[in-house]
């Protein structure tokens, strides 16, 4: 490939705070290198449908600049390009249509910003069409192999901390227990990372599957100890990851039945859900978005394909940025599977840490 003249960028899957910061950085970095940028609307759905919009325009002096009206992007949550969970992209026909659309619009590369499902799609597309594809990890779940951080995780954690602090204020006023469910379909990363920061009393994770009866018994003991006259805790906070199969409401009901004899104990449940996906990206998310965007634009310049830009991943090809490496998307897929099935050292390390502090949390 000669010097790239035009690249496309899309955001896919669950939105994550900092996606816009990454797109903004890509626009400015590409424009200063004389590369035009087109945005794909609604992720892979828009790619298949050929929904493109120009994100750069030519200046009278022959340079390039962002199209007007985007200067607010770096500081905003969500994704202004739109996103989708695209069933059509799962088929070879869907990806062939996407490849045709990319060729029709005349781009030299595609940058995909999204989670492990979106990046797996990017890997398949890279193998099936001639257009080079580069991935940038973004998902609040932090369940993408080969990168320590994905864009959006830090903001989500800060939102969880703020929400739990607020819930603790009201919980303490009534000596209540709260079960707070946080997102993470296949990953307990948000719950386990927030647990210490919010001084939770217990944390339930999909990576540590347990019998429902055993969990209820342990939580009953926790409530009895915590609200005893000797310990006199003002509130109990139980963090539960979405991926734990027992519904939060059932857990609360079972628990309430067990502590029926305790006077004045009440339990409330809160599902933070999508609340945690929105909001202005933190400094950290803006910073890693900008640095990974630089890695991605350089990867386009270097003619790479089928790779992901990684943050502090401890693997892959080095770049001038000491914390940014380039990891083959195939390795990202393998590492993601290992994160999930527990065979990854990272999962073992995280679970080891949380196991060590369980007793401390409960005290
Ligand atoms: O983006 C990941 C995630 O936030 C998961 O934690 C959650 O299960 C899922 O997205 C929710 O997806 P949707 O917005 O499609 O309901």
Pocket test for ligand 1, best of 14, 144, 272 (most atoms within 8 A of CB): 14
| pLDDT for the residue 329 | 98
Pocket test for ligand 1, best of 13, 83, 141 (most atoms within 8 A of CB): 141
Strands 317-318 and 324-328: antiparallel
Q: What is the pLDDT along the chain (363 residues), one digit of tens a residue?
A: 467 799 999 999 999 999 999 999 999 999 999 999 999 999 999 999 999 999 999 999 889 999 999 999 999 999 999 999 999 999 999 999 999 999 999 999 999 999 999 999 999 999 999 999 999 999 999 999 999 999 999 999 999 999 999 999 999 999 999 999 999 998 999 999 999 999 999 999 999 999 999 999 999 999 999 999 999 999 999 999 999 999 999 999 999 999 988 877 899 999 999 999 999 999 999 999 999 999 999 999 999 999 999 999 889 999 999 999 999 999 999 999 999 888 998 889 999 999 999 888 999
pTM value is 0.96
Q: If you take atom 13 of ligand 1, which residue's CA is the nearest one?
A: 14
Domains 6-152+281-341 and 154-278 fall in the same CATH topology: yes
- As assigned by CATH, the class of the 154-278 domain is alpha beta
CB 182, CB 241: distance < 8 Å? yes
Task: Quote the CA–CA distance of 171 and 161 in Å, as a whole number.
Answer: 15
φ/ψ bin of 65: left (φ > 0), alpha (ψ from -120 to 50), beta (otherwise):
beta
Distance of CA 42 to the CA centre of its chain: 18
Q: Quick one: which of 197, 167, 199 has its CA closest to 180?
A: 167
Atom of ligand 1 nearest to the CA of 85: 15
| pLDDT for the residue 70 | 95
| Three-class DSSP category at 194 | helix
141 has catalytic annotation: yes
Could you tell me the residue ranges of all domains in the chain? 6-152+281-341, 154-278
Q: If you take atom 2 of ligand 1, which residue's CA is the nearest one?
A: 14
The H-or-E segment that residue 309 falls in is: strand 307-311
Task: Quote the CA–CA distance of 109 and 151 in Å, as a whole number.
Answer: 21
Task: Quote the CA–CA distance of 187 and 202 in Å, as a whole number.
Answer: 17
- As assigned by CATH, the class of the 6-152+281-341 domain is alpha beta
Q: Is 229 exposed, middle or buried (0-12, 13-18, 19+ CB in 10 A)?
A: exposed
Task: Quote the CA–CA distance of 28 and 204 in Å, as a whole number.
Answer: 42
CB 136, CB 119: distance < 8 Å? no
CA of 82 to the centre of ligand 1 (A): 15
| pLDDT for the residue 2 | 61
Q: Quick one: which of 211, 281, 208 has its CA closest to 251?
A: 211
Q: Which residues line ligand 1 (CB under 6 A)?
A: 13-14, 85, 115, 139-141, 183-185, 242, 277
CA of 271 to the centre of ligand 1 (A): 13
| pLDDT for the residue 260 | 86
| pLDDT for the residue 108 | 96
Residues whose CB is less than 8 angstroms from the CB of residue 214 and which lie 6 or more positions away in sequence, other chains included: none
Atom of ligand 1 nearest to the CA of 187: 6
The catalytic position among 15, 45, 141, 149 is 141
Atom of ligand 1 nearest to the CA of 14: 1
Q: If you take atom 10 of ligand 1, which residue's CA is the nearest one?
A: 14
The H-or-E segment that residue 345 falls in is: helix 345-362
Strands 56-58 and 64-66: antiparallel
Pocket test for ligand 1, best of 11, 18, 160, 183 (most atoms within 8 A of CB): 183
């Amino acid at each position: 490939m000669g010097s790239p003249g035009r690249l496309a960028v899309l955001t896919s899957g669950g939105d994550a705070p900092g996606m816009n910061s990454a797109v903004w950085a890509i626009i400015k970095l590409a424009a200063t290198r004389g590369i035009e940028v087109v945005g794909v609307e609604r992720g892979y759905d828009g790619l298949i449908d050929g929904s493109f919009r120009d994100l750069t325009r030519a200046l009278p002096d022959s340079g390039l600049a962002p199209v007007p009206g985007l200067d607010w992007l770096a500081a905003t949550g969500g994704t202004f390009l739109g996103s989708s969970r695209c069933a059509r992209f799962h088929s070879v026909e869907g990806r062939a249509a996407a490849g045709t659309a990319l060729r029709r619009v005349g781009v030299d590369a595609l940058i995909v910003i999204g989670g492990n499902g979106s990046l797996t799609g990017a890997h398949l597309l890279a193998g099936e069409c001639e257009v080079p594809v580069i991935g940038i990890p973004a998902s609040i779940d932090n369940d993408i192999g080969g990168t320590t951080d994905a864009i959006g995780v830090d903001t989500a954690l800060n939102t969880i901390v703020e929400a739990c602090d607020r819930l603790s204020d009201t919980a303490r006023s009534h000596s209540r227990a709260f079960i707070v469910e946080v997102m993470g379909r296949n990953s307990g990363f948000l719950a386990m990372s927030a647990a210490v920061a919010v001084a939770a009393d217990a944390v339930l994770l999909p990576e540590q599957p347990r019998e429902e009866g055993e969990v209820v018994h342990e939580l009953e003991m926790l409530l009895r100890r915590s609200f005893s006259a000797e310990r006199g805790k003002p509130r109990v906070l139980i963090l539960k990851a979405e991926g734990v199969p027992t519904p939060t409401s059932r857990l609360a009901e079972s628990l309430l039945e067990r502590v029926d004899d305790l006077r004045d104990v009440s339990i409330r449940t809160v599902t933070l859900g999508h609340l945690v996906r929105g909001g202005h990206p933190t400094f950290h998310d803006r910073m890693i978005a900008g640095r990974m965007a630089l890695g991605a634009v350089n990867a386009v310049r270097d003619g790479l394909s089928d790779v992901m830009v990684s943050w502090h991943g401890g693997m892959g090809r080095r770049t001038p940025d000491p914390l940014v490496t380039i990891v083959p998307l195939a390795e990202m897929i393998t590492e993601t599977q290992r994160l999930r099935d527990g065979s990854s050292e990272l999962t073992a390390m995280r679970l080891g840490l949380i196991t060590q502090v369980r007793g401390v949390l409960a005290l």
